[in-house]
A and B are shown apart, each in its own frame.
Chain A
Amino acid sequence: DIQMTQSPSTLSASVGDRVTITCRASQSISSWLAWYQQKPGKAPKLLIYKASSLESGVPSRFSGSGSGTEFTLTISSLQPDDFATYYCQQYNSYPWAFGQGTKVEIK
Chain B
Amino acid sequence: EVQLVESGGGLVQPGGSLRLSCAASGFTVSSNYMSWVRQAPGKGLEWVSVIYSGGSTYYADSVKGRFTISRDNSKNTLYLQMNSLRAEDTAVYYCARAGPVVVVTAHPHWYFDLWGRGTLVTVSS
Task: Give A contacts to B, CB under 8 Å.
Answer: 32, 34, 36, 42-46, 49, 55, 87, 89, 91-101
Chain B 38-96 interface residues, beta-carbon cutoff 8 Å to A: 44-47, 58, 60-61, 94
Bound-complex Cα distance A44 to B39 (A): 11
Whose C-beta in chain B lies nearest to the C-beta of A35?
B111
Q: Are A87 and B44 closer than 8 Å at their CB atoms?
A: yes
Q: Are A44 and B45 closer than 8 Å at their CB atoms?
A: yes
Bound-complex Cα distance A46 to B58 (A): 22
For the residues of A in contact with B, the DSSP-based class is loop
Q: Are A42 and B117 closer than 8 Å at their CB atoms?
A: yes
Q: Inside 8 A of B107's CB, which chain A residues have their CB?
A: 93
Chain B: interface size category: 10 to 19
Q: Are B99 and A43 closer than 8 Å at their CB atoms?
A: no
Bound-complex Cα distance A94 to B61 (A): 10
Known A-B contacts A32-B109, A46-B99; A95 and B115 likewise in contact (beta carbons under 8 Å) = no
Closest chain B CB from A95 CB (angstroms): 5
Chain B 92-125 interface residues, beta-carbon cutoff 8 Å to A: 94, 99, 107, 109-113, 115-118
Known A-B contacts A44-B112, A49-B99, A49-B111; A98 and B45 likewise in contact (beta carbons under 8 Å) = yes
Q: Are A98 and B47 closer than 8 Å at their CB atoms?
A: yes
Bound-complex Cα distance A12 to B99 (A): 32
Whose C-beta in chain A lies nearest to the C-beta of B101?
A91
Q: Are B44 and A101 closer than 8 Å at their CB atoms?
A: yes
- A-B contact list, 30 entries, CB within 8 Å: A32-B109, A34-B111, A34-B112, A36-B112, A42-B117, A43-B94, A43-B117, A43-B118, A44-B45, A44-B112, A44-B115, A46-B99, A46-B111, A46-B112, A46-B113, A49-B99, A87-B44, A89-B111, A91-B109, A91-B111, A94-B58, A95-B47, A95-B60, A98-B44, A98-B45, A98-B47, A99-B44, A100-B44, A101-B44, A101-B45
